Amino acid sequence: MKLITIIGARPQFIKAAPFSEMFREENEEILVHTGQHYDTNMSDVFFDELGIPRPDYNLEVGSGSHGLQTGRMLEKIEELITIENPDGLLVYGDTNSTLAGALAASKLHIPVFHVEAGLRSFNKRMPEEQNRILTDHVSDLLLCPTQTAVNNLKKEGITIGVLNTGDIMFDVVLRNIEISKSRYSNGVWIDKLREKNENIPSLKEKEYYLATIHRAENTDDEMKLFEIFSAFERMDKPVILPIHPRTRKLIDNLDIKLDNVILIKPVGYLMMLYLTANAYMVVTDSGGLQKEAYFLKTPCTTLREQTEWVETLENGWNVLSSINIDTILKTVRRELDCLKYPQPMLFGDGNAAEHICNAILKGGK
């Protein structure tokens, strides 16, 4: 079988790695990077460390408005499909690349396979939510990470071609966490952080918060940023925050003195896994990090009004917080009852890549 896979950002390469490895044993995969997100960390080390195949094509679309970006990708992906004539096209998640790939294939009557189908935050103001819904409604195989996702699709009248495969990110975490531990334990993680960042204090595992802030709904609102970072300053443990240069400039404009917040340059996937596994708590607005925290049994506070990963909310592993200093502080200081009980296995058996591969080979011919 010949398959085109569309990728738009570094996290999607990581997500796709276990499937690609399995599928390529007996089939052909054409990996297409749209270039939706330019990432300086996409170096040889990134691909070699994680065993990730390099893209066959880079469309170099770059940034722009949602319409402009999606339109450019749609045009270029359509051209590639015509050249390669695949048996199907695979997309991941909910980016503009996901939607562009699905639309291009659907209009050319090429079967569309959507990994992470059925997710819903029920907030259509989010571009990701629009991308999810539209992609699901043109897909032929809807490869869901959880039963909740299957149920969401059923409510929208989609029942054919729907399969609960489990979450492929669970596969990724399971296959990389031991590598991460062997590389960064025994204080090596602090030494590595100090190589690229000044003023890293002495820190111990489980005695820091790990935070990420990147969603436009937070970073584009000066008042929300002020509330978030004011809360970080009042937390009872240091806050490690890998930060993008753009967000760093926005914070500097707030004129907040950051004594409790340790700003570090973006880190690689294996280091991020280590920091997540060993944090007292994760505080984030990221969908993916909420889930990785859950997989690694680290409590999480999500700085959003809703989440597409509702399963993480069970038993208080993840708790949503509105953007308010007092609310954030109250949420992170909660009793961690989740640690007292066995964690429910809601994201599959860690073999999602195999289930996805079998489903595509069976349904994509």
| Residue 44 tokens, joined | 């040889």
CB count, 10 Å around CB of 85? 10
DSSP assigned state of 59: -
Amino acid at 149: A
Amino acid at 283: V
88-92 sheet: strands from edge to edge: 57-58, 28-33, 2-7, 88-92, 112-115, 141-144, 162-164
Distance CA 331, CA 87 (A): 48
Which of 37, 137, 214, 244 does the annotation list as catalytic? 214
Distance CA 111, CA 290 (A): 31
214 counts as catalytic: yes
Distance CA 163, CA 161 (A): 7
Nearest C-alpha neighbor of 187 from the set 100, 261, 274, 63: 274
Give DSSP secondary structure letters for 257-318.
--SSEEEE----HHHHHHHHHT-SEEEES-HHHHHHHHHTT--EEE-SS--S-GGGGGGGSE
Do 256 and 351 contact (CB within 8 A), yes or no? no
Catalytic residues: 214
